[in-house]
A and B are shown apart, each in its own frame.
Chain A
Amino acid sequence: MSEGISGGRFTDGKPNLRRFHQARWDEPVIFELSSPGQRGILVPEVEADIRRQVGDLTERYSRLLLPPAPYHSVLMDGCLERGRDLSGGLRYNNFGIHGACAANAADALAAVKRTVFEERSVEPRELIAALDANFDGHEPLRGRLLQQAPKVGNDPEADAFLSGLFDMFAEACEATQDNGRGGRVRPGCGSAMYYLWLAQGQPGDSTPPIGATADGRVRGDFFSANLAPSPQAQVRGPLSVLQAFSRIDYSRVYNGGPITMELADASFSDPEALAKCATLVRIFAQLGCQQLQLNALNAQKLRDAKRHPERHRNLIVRVWGWSGYFCELEPAYQDHVIARCEHRL
């Protein structure tokens, strides 16, 4: 059972950036994840917020009522012997929490570090005003954040923020000894549908939970599903992506969640190309990553399927943890699949 949280969401969707707001360029700011006690003014806010979100979700799990499931219970170890339905507890009672949209969160932190604190090309108040305005009237700043700031998958500095966020997340989960049901809270790196819900809101929402972000993303723009670089990031290819996500300490982030990669369908077109795909899987294992989801996509075919669904009734695509007929997906999910970065082999 999983619930999504976002590494990029601070407090109730509104960044608690009071100290950041007051920061000045001439103030010595140390912004390192690696030296505890000297982590500057932004990282502790993020860490505290992750702890708070993990605490809130865990508290909700302890109050969760599960419906009785007699048939399912028969198939589980111990239920018959103890005469108890699975809703009353099992041998393992672990619950998972997933840290979704982590690449954008890491990109945002890396962008602030680079532009505000190192280059000093943006004043903190200017950045916050731009985010509040969804970058309206701040296009040049947005362009700089998008094009020049480090991004997960193309810069080790952003990659370090990514693994740092998952370390904080793991620490918050480890601090919870008991989830209130006799199990642990396990941190994961999947997204389920939160990559869309956080970006665009759930059906019926008037505004999405997350607005513009400091990586140059405007309100409503997609996040990536599961583990993948931000859709806005230009990356050199699958090796850099695997390297970036291999930095996560999966011995602590163990509830699952795949690195999700889209390959052009030409990657499967001849034996030599197929052999290269096999090598890609081998490299994934050599680098010590956890899960890999490889999808074959042909963006042109998908666009045609959106226009002419009658010609593509049997087209099946991977959505996040499941596959579906492309023509039967909601338009927002169709658009996300089309927009996913295609890594051309």
Chain B
Amino acid sequence: MSHGIVFDIREFALHDGPGIRTTVFLKGCPLRCSWCHNPEGQSGQPQEIGAGSHRRIVGRRYEAADLAALLNRQAPILAANNGGITFSGGEPLLQAQFIAEVIEGLNGLPVLLDTSGYSSEAQFRLVAAKCQMVFFDVKLIDAEAHRRFTGADNAPILANLRRLGEMEVPFVVRVPLVPGVTDTRTNLSAIADAVHRLPGLVRVDLLRYNRAAGGKYASFGMPFRPGFDESAEVNLDPEPFTALGIEVRIPGDEPGRRINA
């Protein structure tokens, strides 16, 4: 039985998959994206933040069976409402064995993996094969730019993306739109080229840059150096994808009906 480190569990995540979902955020990430809005997910170790009586430890150790039992408490509610569990992070595949055991312990709940794709082939297959859906981040196709903005090589990511295409697990490619970095027409066209023939691709989500990203860094004693102009307009043009027949969604972009307006 293995254990893992979790930095948060959030119910009713809005954009973490179909139906109502409880998202487990795993601590630790091999990437250091300069726009990261979950800095508490970077280190794999529990961290102490705050002072006095507000001091708290971010990151809690769970045995796989205990986490499964905690999630199973709501299994009937989730099952009755087309819901499930999402594993996100950090990078959940850094704790692939742990997640695989948690999934085995779930009472048949549908599971979604939300991943950067950066992992070994074995880790990737172990978890992805147990999931009903995968959200796969693709940030930058240019290897040098990827290294510069995320601190890591994108070759393992693109290799796992191709494997996912062969695995018969439906997946959504998610592109965080960072102004001047990932939202360029060149990059979006390259991503569209890389994904449009992959079987199992459901759609592409374009995620707006979160301007509140820097807000959490100070409490973790980390500097926030985005390395791009945060205030620049984001290019939301989905044309590189739609031109190839790919469905595109921009969460939060379709205004809801106003109630009591």
Binding site for B on A (CB under 8 A): 135, 139, 142-143, 146-147, 156, 216, 236-240, 243, 266-274, 276, 279-280, 282-283, 286-287, 343-345
Q: With CB as the reference atom, state the residue of chain B lying closest to A240.
A: B11
A236 with B253: CB separation less than 8 A:
no
Q: With CB as the reference atom, state the residue of chain A lying closest to B19.
A: A279
Contacts of A237 in B (CB 8 A): 10-12, 22
Q: With CB as the reference atom, state the residue of chain B lying closest to A238.
A: B12
Contacts of A139 in B (CB 8 A): 52-53
Assuming A240-B11, A345-B14, is B256 touching A273 (CB within 8 A)? yes
Binding site for A on B (CB under 8 A): 9-15, 19-20, 22, 52-57, 73-74, 77, 80-83, 251-257, 259
Assuming A240-B11, A283-B77, A345-B12, is B255 touching A270 (CB within 8 A)? yes
B12 with A272: CB separation less than 8 A:
no
A–B pairs, 11, beta carbons within 8 Å:
A147-B56, A236-B9, A236-B10, A237-B12, A237-B22, A239-B12, A239-B20, A268-B256, A271-B254, A279-B83, A283-B80
Assuming A142-B53, A236-B22, A287-B77, is B254 touching A270 (CB within 8 A)? yes
A276 with B9: CB separation less than 8 A:
no
A270 with B9: CB separation less than 8 A:
no
**Shortest Cβ distance from residue A53 to the other chain B in the assembled complex, whole angstroms:** 30
A276 with B20: CB separation less than 8 A:
yes
Contacts of B77 in A (CB 8 A): 239, 243, 283, 286-287
Cα-based distance from A187 to B14 in the complex (angstroms): 36
A282 with B251: CB separation less than 8 A:
no
Contacts of A276 in B (CB 8 A): 12, 14, 20
Q: With CB as the reference atom, state the residue of chain B lying closest to A156.
A: B73
A282 with B256: CB separation less than 8 A:
no
Cα-based distance from A238 to B52 in the complex (angstroms): 28
**Shortest Cβ distance from residue A140 to the other chain B in the assembled complex, whole angstroms:** 8
Q: With CB as the reference atom, state the residue of chain B lying closest to A235.
A: B11
Assuming A344-B14, A345-B14, is B53 touching A146 (CB within 8 A)? yes
Q: With CB as the reference atom, state the residue of chain B lying closest to A145.
A: B53
- A272: which of B11, B52, B74, B251 is its contact (CB, 8 Å)? B251
**Shortest Cβ distance from residue A195 to the other chain B in the assembled complex, whole angstroms:** 22
Contacts of B255 in A (CB 8 A): 269-270
Contacts of A344 in B (CB 8 A): 10, 14
Cα-based distance from A269 to B55 in the complex (angstroms): 34
A274 with B256: CB separation less than 8 A:
yes
Cα-based distance from A64 to B14 in the complex (angstroms): 50
A270 with B74: CB separation less than 8 A:
no
**Shortest Cβ distance from residue B139 to the other chain A in the assembled complex, whole angstroms:** 23
Which residue among A240, A267, A268, A270 has the maximum number of chain B CB atoms within 10 Å of its CB?
A270
Contacts of B81 in A (CB 8 A): 279, 282-283, 286
Cα-based distance from A237 to B23 in the complex (angstroms): 10
Contacts of B15 in A (CB 8 A): 272
Contacts of B74 in A (CB 8 A): 239-240, 243
Contacts of B20 in A (CB 8 A): 239, 276, 279-280, 283
